[in-house]
Structure 1
Amino acid sequence: MAGRLEGKVALVSGAARGQGRSHAVRLAQEGADIIAFDICHQLDTVPYPMAVSEDLEQTAKLVEDLDRRILTREADVRDSAALQALVDEGVGEFGRLDVVCANAGIAGFAENTWTMTEDQWEEMIAVNLTGVWKTVKAAVPSMIEAGNGGSIVITSSTAGVKGMPGTAHYVSAKHGVVGLMRTLANELAPHSIRVNTVHPTGVNTPMIVNDFMAEVLSSDDGAINLQNALPVGMVEPVDISNAIVWLASEEARYVTGVSLPVDAGFLQR
């Protein structure tokens, strides 16, 4: 039985591990070939270990084990030239681009907004907001030229809907991608390219499950940021991936401009 994305090609950022790896695998399970990238080295303001080259290699193996094709490269979402080269290479190899999963992001925490360093603010905005714009900027022309329509799904957060103490830079970026999504949804509708955001609560990935975040989440401010209505501490990466697969599929062919929570009821608290 053919998958819901049979014959499609998907670009996934931040694909080395966590949500990005899960998205690449689920999209492949539904029949898509994958163009995947990740920075695969540590950033100065990120307080937990980031993905490495071996992580991206493992993602590639998991997709290939599904008998799907995958092109992987180490690239920084802040590097427009690298992103354009990757998209051009991927479209040249696979012949098309149908789905963009703008997932790459970092997390951080500060005591409060006014004592946050400029480096913390600027790197967060550069990766989590500007990096999404650069990913879309690189991908959209090929999607329009192909004339097949398509789907862009941007990973926001519950922090893209409400304020959270100690994370002004993260909250600002995640709110920002919602505005970007809404604008793109209008601009790309004539081309039958749909644009939506997903808004996860805490997800069981290395970005959350690490010593630094454990200490943050044990504080009063941090605990506020992870209180779900449903009786689960965190959701799994595949829970977000399933939403992305749906948004990328024909089942959601008239869904655009939507902010979709996958949050175990967090935003209802």
Structure 2
Amino acid sequence: MFDLSGRVAVITGGESGIGLAISRTLAKSGAKVVIGGILADEGANVAESLRADGGDVYFVKTDVRVEEQVDNLVDEAVKRFGRLDIMINNAGVFDGFANILDTTTALWDQIVDINLKGCFFGCKSALKRMLAQGGGGRIINTSSVGGLRGAADGASYTAAKFGVVGLTRQLACDYSEQGITVNAVCPGSIQTDVRKNSGTILGADAVPMDRGVGADPDAWKRMIPARRRGLPQEVADVAVFLVSDAASYVTGQAIAVDGGWTAT
């Protein structure tokens, strides 16, 4: 575990799945954590649970599709703790492996707005604060194996997650001189409730979520050299390494956490 004592971290989508594992690991590493998420009950319960375990953790209901709400989330962290050191743009939804002909304009807009535009809002808001502090900081964006290769997800999800990787690399080039590192983690098939939560968040725009690697009990045996699905904690460990001092010279990278899937 890395020592993040005194660091202030904001994470979107930190109330479930991979985000929950990252929130928990940040808190255990000593960071002060503000979680922003759209699942209000889950977020409030997570923050309360982590505080009961000794963490300094708070929840702010946030819809990352709305720039003002993302700005408010970051503002709340700065007001409460005085600064911002870490921004993790993790909020995301799944498109159910919908091909382009099955992708309505409404579904496309929802997936891109949450997965890519929400990441843009988070990066922009965080960078304003980090630069105002004199530079320095860590930004992590959650992309996907679907942001590194085709045939891993649906059309809108793949386009959005490739966009996250491109945004990450551009920001790393723009702000490394100011001591701000920007990296992406790219999870493969991870054991989470992303399908269920995506259906809830997308509502009427959702498509059936029963396709793809995670829905096929044998697909990972054929596609993933590790012959198993990953755990949220395994992604969290990489993310927390990237925000630690140990990764001070790592920036602009899109790191797959996929059991070797992208090596095939």
The alpha-carbon deviation at position 112 of structure 1 amounts to: 2.3
The alpha-carbon deviation at position 140 of structure 1 amounts to: 1.2
Q: 1:82 to 1:145 in 2, by over 3 A?
A: same
5 Å matches for 1:49-128?
53-109=40-96, 111-128=98-115
2:10 is aligned with 1:11: yes
The alpha-carbon deviation at position 96 of structure 1 amounts to: 1.0
Offset from partner CA, 1:95-133 (integer Å, 9 cap, x none):
111111110000012552133211111110111001100
- 1:229 matched to which residue of 2? 225
The alpha-carbon deviation at position 66 of structure 1 amounts to: 3.3
TM-score, structure 1 normalization: 0.87
2:251 is aligned with 1:256: yes
- 2:131 matched to which residue of 1? 144
The alpha-carbon deviation at position 57 of structure 1 amounts to: 1.6
Q: 1:218 to 1:254 in 2, by over 3 A?
A: closer
- Using the alignment, how far apart are the partners of 1:21 and 1:64 within structure 2? 14
- Which secondary structure does the structure 2 equivalent of 1:257 belong to? coil
The alpha-carbon deviation at position 145 of structure 1 amounts to: 1.3
Amino acid at match of 2:225: A
Structure with the larger helix share: 2
In structure 2, the gaps of 5 or more residues are 200-207
- Which secondary structure does the structure 2 equivalent of 1:23 belong to? helix
Q: 1:209 to 1:122 in 2, by over 3 A?
A: closer
- 1:50 matched to which residue of 2? none
User: In structure 2, which of residues 182, 192, 211 is the aligned counterpart of residue 195 of structure 1?
Assistant: 182
Amino acid at match of 1:164: A
The CA RMSD measured in Å over matched residues stands at 2.4
- Using the alignment, how far apart are the partners of 2:34 and 2:54 within structure 1? 15
User: In structure 1, which of residues 206, 221, 228 is the aligned counterpart of residue 193 of structure 2?
Assistant: 206
- 2:146 matched to which residue of 1? 159
Among all aligned residue pairs of Structure 1 and Structure 2, give the percentage whose two residues are the same amino acid: 32
The alpha-carbon deviation at position 192 of structure 1 amounts to: 0.2
2:20 is aligned with 1:33: no
Q: 2:153–2:212: 8 Å Cα contact kept in structure 1?
A: no
- Using the alignment, how far apart are the partners of 2:178 and 2:78 within structure 1? 18
Q: Paired residues, what number?
A: 254
TM-score, structure 2 normalization: 0.89
Q: 1:102–1:153: 8 Å Cα contact kept in structure 2?
A: yes
Bigger shift: residues 146-155 or 223-232: 223-232
In structure 1, the gaps of 5 or more residues are 41-52
The alpha-carbon deviation at position 208 of structure 1 amounts to: 4.4
2:163 is aligned with 1:176: yes
- Using the alignment, how far apart are the partners of 1:226 and 1:180 within structure 2? 32
